[in-house]
Amino acid sequence: MKVVDLKITCVTVPMEAPLRWSMGVETETTRRIIQAFTDEGIIGIGETYGGNSVEHAVELAKPYVLGLDPMETGLLQHRLSVFRIGYETAIPAIVRAGIEMAFLDGLVKR
């Protein structure tokens, strides 16, 4: 089984009660859903938070992820942590965790 595509989707969920904190009041929460598509038709799902920078990081990570076996989570983490040349090319830990979660979810569905 090999990963052939990654997709990220923004999801906003309303809260039942508003969250009040020092920076104001929040009535909803936004998360990013990462899907890892495999050549066997299995889709693994991971979750993370963040804004446009997370979507940009997933697009940056895509060439290093495609073709990997979802069991190779160590290689995944190595590939995504090596390219930290600058802020623009760094893949944050929350993105690496979301992609790894999608890999592991795909393995469970196998």
| CATH number of the CATH domain containing 74 | 3.30.390.10
Angstrom distance (rounded) from CA 92 to CA 90: 6
DSSP classification of residue 34: E
- Percent of the residues in the chain that have a pLDDT greater than 90, as a whole number: 54
pLDDT at 87: 65
In angstroms, the CA 8 to CA 75 distance is 21
**With contact defined as beta carbons under 8 Å apart, do 70 and 109 qualify?**
no
Number of structural domains, the chain? 1
Rounded Cα–Cα distance for residues 46 and 99 (Å): 6
Domain that holds residue 59: 3-109
Residue 65: its pLDDT value, please?
92
C-alpha neighbours within 13 Å on the C-beta side of residue 19: 8
Q: Are 1 and 39 in contact (CB under 8 A)?
A: yes
pTM to 2 decimals? 0.85
Give the model's pLDDT for residue 50: 79
